[in-house]
A and B are shown apart, each in its own frame.
Chain A
């Protein structure tokens, strides 16, 4: 394994300077793939004045395509608008495989479509869960079905996510791999000294929105405070539900027992986590939940709602699960408080190191890439028949979209032949000249973490 080196293009609307699960995943996966000797290029849309080509740690090249996001960091769907630049990048960088991330990234869907038209092998990673009931989900599922109808291999972050994706997109389950997220254990280290357990600190770090269960917190916190006089809460994060939490704090006069920190930058999360004993996650839906991993890596005992992929994330003795209902949550917190004396943060950290590593994720992803590249090439007609099977009306529409894309590509080939596109010289960025690269302080910190672990 690893004899053949690939040239991979990662595509998603979500990337640094934005922060979140997907952004993290792409960054760490790319870093570890580069370490394995592959060439990785990231394509995303422009973030304010961050336009053009940038280099990040380890020679990770990022194309910030000048395409304006319109809602929630998503670009406006244009179907064919991205084909010229996409083609240029693919040829310039001599890409061998395209890897798209996240189901609601428009850029990702468009890029995968163009890559298939141009005959590239594509891999898609789904990071989210979707229902089947409401109009929004029905629309998203149709879009996903379109993209995945022709995807070479798909990756999901948990088994629940795999089941969901298979149902939504009608893929054969053998084509879908489960490769979870990981955590940078070198960055999330527990406190040097064990915290005193006279006062128990419960940490909550999440965006304060409905989907993250902020309303559940409003019910749970006063009850826990009433039952356990030595419990102290620290809430990090901001969002529309913050007002409700502050109201709850006023109403129950818990100002001295509930701290609200506001938004916590990702780099500061660890320093907040190490001040607590228990991490509380109240999400109503979650494909994987990296926050739990970060907390566990810092040696915190986790209490979480039993939703989505959360039960698969940690072994039973490292997490207390509860139904998303205030009474059960309070019971789980109580159970966690009694378990606390038996928890050793350092031991938990060492265990997490064995359970999760980005290098492992990269190695497993590499296998998926190899399988994808081994798949046979397909003619346009063969692929069209698969689109046609997507639905009575949608199938024909999908076919039309693909045929137009194909014609547009042929036109571009005539207009600017492949030979006329300049190829990027192969730069060997070794670890020694790392200091010369333009990268943010934050990236440096993160890369040090990755190195530290490898050595």
Chain B
């Protein structure tokens, strides 16, 4: 386009071909003339991020960490259903988790003040009271449905939850987090809540129901928040925490069932080793084309 004005007037021999649409057919050139300037404005792979294997593997630890959390919840569910875990120890577990969760938040979030903490405690108290009042309803919620259906439904809901979960943030907004949760992560959270209610309705007493639902909701709502805060606080701590969680989960599952242990181990290998390697491998097929034909992006926000 730079040569617009060159050769506008008479030139010695043949006029240079120009990339213009006006003025009719250019003398001496056909309409299908193609020269070096063809596709010169094309940009390839402009926005591609270079990834390295180690970084991808370390980032995938967050996923296996959350899979551990979910696996532990399922272990607790099965233990409660098979009566190896009574309601008293469940309540101790609940209180212990709540306490350690607050403790972690207190350490890792620097904006935490006494009033904010009181606010949290007050909300938590409301939440627990509400749950206690509702637990008789949950207890009889699915009485007319067979246990098989409940188990298969719970299984699919948990898989849905894992697929849609927001692994890079927290659905419950962390203090100081910038963006709001997406629709998908909300769907995921709701799936997990429904799954825990379904499981709870299979339990023998109202107090069991209350204890299990409280436990599951604590984990599904606040575990991502706590792990997110840990990750923000120190990456090394996050890695240590994740690996110890993985070891704990594997040990517990090993005691529970051999085959599931092997499956879980395979999932960890797949998530932490095979997937990152795969991602790096398929990077070379990345082919992104940009050019003058792209729709221009507005550089300001549209306020509706």
Binding site for B on A (CB under 8 A): 129-133, 157-161, 163-164, 166-167, 173-180, 211, 213, 215-216, 219, 244, 284-285, 287-288, 305, 307-309, 311-316, 324-326, 354-357, 360, 364, 367-368
Interface code B274-304, partner A: CB below 8 Å = 1, 0 otherwise? 0000000000000011111111101110101
Write out the residue numbers on chain A whose beta carbons fall within 8 Å of the beta carbon of B32. 173-178
Write out the residue numbers on chain A whose beta carbons fall within 8 Å of the beta carbon of B22. 180, 312-315, 355-356
A164 lies within 8 A of B291 (CB): yes
List 27 A-B pairs, Cβ < 8 Å: A130-B293, A131-B295, A160-B292, A160-B293, A163-B38, A163-B292, A163-B293, A166-B39, A174-B32, A177-B32, A179-B31, A180-B22, A215-B302, A285-B294, A307-B296, A309-B21, A311-B1, A312-B1, A313-B21, A315-B4, A315-B20, A324-B298, A354-B23, A355-B24, A357-B24, A360-B24, A360-B25
Interface code B40-57, partner A: CB below 8 Å = 1, 0 otherwise? 011000000000000000
Residue B88 interfacial (CB < 8 Å): no
Residue B232 interfacial (CB < 8 Å): no
Which residue of chain B lies nearest to A243 when distances are taken between CB atoms in the complex?
Answer: B304
A132 lies within 8 A of B289 (CB): yes
A163 lies within 8 A of B21 (CB): no
A308 lies within 8 A of B4 (CB): no
Write out the residue numbers on chain B whose beta carbons fall within 8 Å of the beta carbon of A357. 24
Write out the residue numbers on chain A whose beta carbons fall within 8 Å of the beta carbon of B24. 355-357, 360, 364
The minimal Cβ–Cβ distance linking B20 to chain A, given in whole angstroms, is 5
A163-B291, A314-B22, A316-B4 known; A285 vs B31 contact (CB < 8 Å): no
**B298 partner, pick from A161, A215, A356, A364, beta carbons under 8 A:** A215
Give the interface SS of chain B, mostly helix, strand, loop or mixed: loop
B5 lies within 8 A of A173 (CB): no
A159-B19, A176-B32, A312-B22 known; A284 vs B291 contact (CB < 8 Å): no
Residue B34 interfacial (CB < 8 Å): yes
Among A163, A167, A356, A360, the most chain B Cβ lie within 10 Å of the Cβ of A163
Q: In the bound complex, how far is the Cα of B19 from the Cα of A293, in angstroms? A: 18
A-B CB pair tally, cutoff 8 Å: 106
Q: How large is the interface on B (under 10, 10 to 19, 20 to 34, 35 or more residues)?
A: 20 to 34
Write out the residue numbers on chain A whose beta carbons fall within 8 Å of the beta carbon of B299. 325
Within 8 A of A (CB), among B1-36: 1, 4-5, 19-25, 30-32, 34
Among B19, B39, B296, the most chain A Cβ lie within 10 Å of the Cβ of B296
The 10 closest A-B pairs by CB, nearest first: A324-B296, A180-B21, A164-B293, A177-B31, A129-B293, A285-B295, A312-B21, A173-B34, A284-B296, A355-B22
Among B31, B38, B300, the most chain A Cβ lie within 10 Å of the Cβ of B31
Write out the residue numbers on chain A whose beta carbons fall within 8 Å of the beta carbon of B23. 354-355
B292 lies within 8 A of A244 (CB): no
B31 lies within 8 A of A305 (CB): no
Q: In the bound complex, how far is the Cα of B19 from the Cα of A178, in angstroms? A: 10
Write out the residue numbers on chain B whose beta carbons fall within 8 Å of the beta carbon of A132. 288-290
The minimal Cβ–Cβ distance linking A289 to chain B, given in whole angstroms, is 10
Which residue of chain A lies nearest to B33 when distances are taken between CB atoms in the complex?
Answer: A178
The minimal Cβ–Cβ distance linking A160 to chain B, given in whole angstroms, is 5
The minimal Cβ–Cβ distance linking A423 to chain B, given in whole angstroms, is 34
The minimal Cβ–Cβ distance linking A391 to chain B, given in whole angstroms, is 14
Q: In the bound complex, how far is the Cα of B1 from the Cα of A315, in angstroms? A: 10
Q: In the bound complex, how far is the Cα of B295 from the Cα of A311, in angstroms? A: 15
**B292 partner, pick from A173, A308, A367, beta carbons under 8 A:** A308
A167 lies within 8 A of B289 (CB): yes
A129-B293, A315-B4 known; A163 vs B42 contact (CB < 8 Å): yes
Q: Name 10 extra pairs, CB < 8 A, besides A132-B288, A160-B292.
A: A129-B293, A133-B288, A160-B291, A175-B32, A177-B31, A307-B295, A309-B292, A312-B22, A316-B4, A367-B30
The minimal Cβ–Cβ distance linking A281 to chain B, given in whole angstroms, is 12
Among B5, B30, B288, the most chain A Cβ lie within 10 Å of the Cβ of B30
The minimal Cβ–Cβ distance linking B75 to chain A, given in whole angstroms, is 40
Q: In the bound complex, how far is the Cα of B104 from the Cα of A373, in angstroms? A: 78
Q: In the bound complex, how far is the Cα of B24 from the Cα of A307, in angstroms? A: 22
Q: In the bound complex, how far is the Cα of B292 from the Cα of A139, in angstroms? A: 21
The minimal Cβ–Cβ distance linking A296 to chain B, given in whole angstroms, is 10
Q: In the bound complex, how far is the Cα of B290 from the Cα of A308, in angstroms? A: 12
B294 lies within 8 A of A131 (CB): yes
